[in-house]
Each structure stands twice: as C-alpha cells, then as structure tokens.
Amino acid sequence: MTFEITHPTLLLIPYAVLVEHTGSPVTPQLLQIINKGYDKPRYNYGIILTARVKNGLVPDLQLKPGSFLSLLVSPDVGARAALQQSTGKADVGSWDVPGKFTCSDIQTRVVQADDWPKLALALPNVVGTIGLKPYSDHAMEITALTAFQGAVGKMLLLHAETIVKDKELVEQLAVQTGVSQFVTTVIADHDLVAYYAKFGYMVDRQAVISQSDVETNSTSLEDGVCATADFTLVYMHKDI
C-alpha cells in the first residue's frame, strides 16, 4: 500500500497491527496526535490535568481484540504547522486545518502489518481519529475521537457506523459481527453530552467522579488520571 495522500481516506488499523508495532518509532507520533486532540478539552476546561495517553495506546485506550483505530487523512491541509504538544489554551488549535471538511466521498483502506513503517508518511495529513472497541455482544464503544478541522467529528461518527456494517471490512479488521449499537462515555463538564445528542446519542446514566477516586485509580478510567475537581461521567448510546 502506498501512503501518497491524493484523496481523503480513512486508514483503519486493526488491533493486532497496533499491538505488533507497540515499540515502533511510528507509534509515539500517533500517540502525540491523539493527545493533541484531547488537549483541547483538557486545557479549555481545566478539569483533567493529564494527557489522554500516558502509558501506551493499547492500555490507556483500553483496547482489546476486536478493536480498531481509524485515521482520517486529507491531501488538503495547507501550510500546516509542525505538530507540537499543547502547553495551554493559546496553542490547543495550533495543528488545526482552517475551514470545514466537506468531502463525502471518502476512501477506506485497512492498514496491514507490512504497511506500518510507511504510515509515518500519512500522519502529517491526519485531520481526525476515532477508535472502536468491543463493549458487548452487539455493541462497540467509541474512543479516541479527535478532530483537527470543522465537521470532521461528525464525519468520523457517521463513517464508523458504515464500517461495522461492511462485511468485508469487519472480516479484515477482525471485528465482531452484528453490531447494532454504539456506546460512549463522556465528561459532561466538557459539554460533550449535547454534542453527541446532535448525532442521535441518548443518555443512559451518569456518575459523579470524585477527585479523590481519580487519584487512587478507583474508577473505570485508565490509571494515572489527575483532576482538579470532581466531574460527571455520562454514559450514552445510539442504536445503529
């Protein structure tokens, strides 16, 4: 597979490929992209102090067999600045691409193990990411949703629904069959409940997470999270 970016493309990375290349030089670059996306709510709201991925993609995103990660790459990112981790509110958007992502004709490619070294060539053109992982016999959970251009988040959520219904892609990605629901857990204090509601997600329940519980790793969150205050997790779902 070539990674010359001539058309908007979703690069789908199966769980097995992510695990096989955990120690690859490409992996920290991918980690940096996801952290850059999560820096926006992290610095804009000031509740979560720590980066989203601290120990590795697989453990911190709580990925397992049947998971996959999608990268939306675009040939039109303009004179984009080099990717740098954010240090505060002032630079959370330093890697953003101006305008809205409007292309609806997006190609799809599954990244194979042998393709991994070449993946680095595509990373400067990433405009968003989304991951899916098994949740139950019929549901998958959204993770690692980031967007560096307007309307990308919506595009990724909609295409994720298409991917899990495509028999060929499901087989290539080793994803469970019969997925009929997506679930997601969001921080209400980041104004994400209303965002997901726009795309048909409904609230199931919510839970207040105390700062002390976070510090003692007594939550369902990944280890090592630090917070400045209590916050509310909201569990949502969408039937697809």
pLDDT at position 103 is 84
DSSP letter string over 70-118?
EEEE-S---SPPPP----SGGGTTTTPPSSB------EEEEPPGGGGGG
50-62 per-position pLDDT tens digit: 889 988 899 999 9
Distance (Å, whole) CA 47 – CA 13: 31
The tens place of each residue's pLDDT in the chain, 240 residues long, gives 566 788 999 999 999 999 999 888 899 999 999 999 999 999 999 999 988 998 889 999 999 999 999 999 999 998 898 999 999 999 999 999 999 998 878 999 999 999 998 899 999 999 999 999 999 999 999 999 999 999 999 999 999 999 999 999 999 999 999 999 999 999 999 999 999 999 999 999 999 988 877 765 555 677 778 889 999 999 999 999
pLDDT at position 4 is 76
Q: What is the pTM of this model?
A: 0.94
Burial of 2 per CB tally in 10 Å (0-12, 13-18, 19+): exposed
